[in-house]
Chains A and B, each alone.
Chain A
Amino acid sequence: KAGVTQTPRYLIKTRGQQVTLSCSPISGHRSVSWYQQTPGQGLQFLFEYFSETQRNKGNFPGRFSGRQFSNSRSEMNVSTLELGDSALYLCASSSQLGQNTGELFFGEGSRLTVL
């Protein structure tokens, strides 16, 4: 069974640009969550999607957005990039809704560097 796939793995952008990251969950998983990981802040929750609907959202500005497609694949977008957006963005899929008791399966992450 293939794991969670994230693309691209690495990318470099400049301030003001926008970026789109993609996540393909484990086959059969309908819940996809996104996390931002930085050395100082640990894992911070961005949002969660289930069946194409955003079910939960973390405390991030509106520049961070996401969506989920009918095949459960998800994308997140960050517009007007700032230096502080440099981070590892992790996608996690789960077979259960709303981060309920199911474990999260993380992808390898997309490492974004903003110059």
Chain B
Amino acid sequence: GQQVMQIPQYQHVQEGEDFTTYCNSSTTLSNIQWYKQRPGGHPVFLIQLVKSGEVKKQKRLTFQFGEAKKNSSLHITATQTTDVGTYFCAGLYYGGSQGNLIFGKGTKLSVKP
């Protein structure tokens, strides 16, 4: 079946360092969503990218969607302790008329103050 590969699985950074997580799909995605799950919490929607080559920014977070719509990245500049959590990408595939949202396994970010 369809898979979305997400790397790295874990990332430990010092506060103030940058962080990037990557998602890759073997097939073209209709769109990609990003979610953040704080420890002990539930996933919360961050953003959705739809267009080829799209770049969106939310304060210190930069999201990119590849030209081929097969990969995406989330970059956090100057991490803070509030950035701690697991970041998931979710790629939307269409099989016929039915959409399937496939989640990556997530990147768990820890930030050392």
Contacts and interface: CB of A to CB of B under 8 A. Distances in A.
A66 interface: no
A106 B100 contact: no
A70 interface: no
Contact of A103 (B1, B42, B45, B50): B45
Given A56-B100, A101-B48, A43 B88 contact: yes
A42 B88 contact: yes
B85 interface: no
A104 interface: yes
Given A99-B92, A101-B50, A106 B43 contact: yes
A25 interface: no
Main secondary structure of the interface of B (DSSP, over half): strand
* B-side interface size class: 20 to 34
A77 B104 CA distance: 25
B105 interface: yes
Interface in B36-75: 41-45, 48, 50
Contacts of B35: 104, 106
B102 A45 contact: yes
A8 B59 CA distance: 36
Interface of B: 1, 30-31, 33, 35, 41-45, 48, 50, 88, 90, 92, 97-106
